[in-house]
Structure 1
């Protein structure tokens, strides 16, 4: 694994460490402002990854799948970051501090709408990530050095299409709560 691959792993670990630290400081140590500062550090992790990948490519390294995954990671982090933090915050409050609302499962039309909102976030991540990939492809301007970037962009295009079909299917066949028949 090259330096960018390791940096992706380190950034993902750092992302969750910063979130957990932020939640612990916020709810257990009761220092809400300091906890918020930790949570606000998450975009800095993306910047570090972006700089690392950029420097690696600037030095003439061939673009690899790791470089492409870095673009995907940044897109996903920007599009899903806030909702991931809210998800962790809700569960931390309920399961660790025994406060707040219990996370609930969604069913029926409510689930379908929620999943579709997730697909919209996926689309935003896709636009950001593929935008970065296309930018890198034009910046490097050497198709033999950017094949991995193009391959990941094509694969992600296929994946987002499949995710849209799944999203639409939930409006046709929404999940039901266990033990509830379709006649109710």
Structure 2
């Protein structure tokens, strides 16, 4: 049941996102769009409550409960970022918005990678806290599966630190000014 609910929450996330963006750009109803997008956290609350009830009713903690905690951590830490990421691309494609831009070189790229890593680290820490709460909630039961998910979250943290650190220690150098795309050139070198 928990896995089915996780799938429903994920599908619900994308349906609400598509509906919210359709209201914003196709129907020109920005307030309704915000209202729909603000329904997103309800999905995580439902998942959290159902998972807690499942454990309270004596379910043996297993990988499904760990996955629920990870999904909730991701949604809390990266849900808003994901919505903004999609929104910028939809606005560009369908509403004449500016093109999405991600820094490609040097310090700006390193900063961007550390910002992304911080979001993933926050997601992992939230998941670890939820998993620890579930471990305390279950008490004497078998919690090895939940502890295994905590270790996986440590891997997520480590991988993100390595990726961001690599952009800091080995920054990608911009091509010469005459070869670089306009958005990557210093302002003084861009044509008006």
Same fold per superposition (TM over 0.5) = yes
The runs of 5 or more residues in structure 1 that have no matched partner are: none
The runs of 5 or more residues in structure 2 that have no matched partner are: 181-192
Aligned length: 176
Are residues 1:170 and 2:160 paired? Answer: no
Q: What's 1:138 paired with?
A: 136
User: Cα offset for 1:162?
Assistant: 2.1
- Aligned partners of 1:162 and 1:117: how far apart in 2? 14
1:4-23 alignment, distance < 5 Å: 4-23=2-21
- Aligned partners of 2:14 and 2:7: how far apart in 1? 11
- Contact kept, 8 Å, 1:107 with 1:174, in 2: the verdict is no
User: Cα offset for 1:143?
Assistant: 4.7
- Aligned partners of 2:9 and 2:129: how far apart in 1? 21
User: Cα offset for 1:175?
Assistant: 3.4
Distance 1:164 1:59, change over 3 A: same
Q: Report which of the two structures shows the higher radius of gyration computed on alpha carbons.
A: 2
Q: What's 1:28 paired with?
A: 26
- Aligned partners of 1:56 and 1:174: how far apart in 2? 47
- What RMSD, in angstroms, separates the aligned Cα atoms of the two structures? 1.5
Q: What's 2:101 paired with?
A: 104
Q: What's 1:161 paired with?
A: 158
Q: What's 1:52 paired with?
A: 50
Normalised by the length of structure 1, the TM-score is 0.90
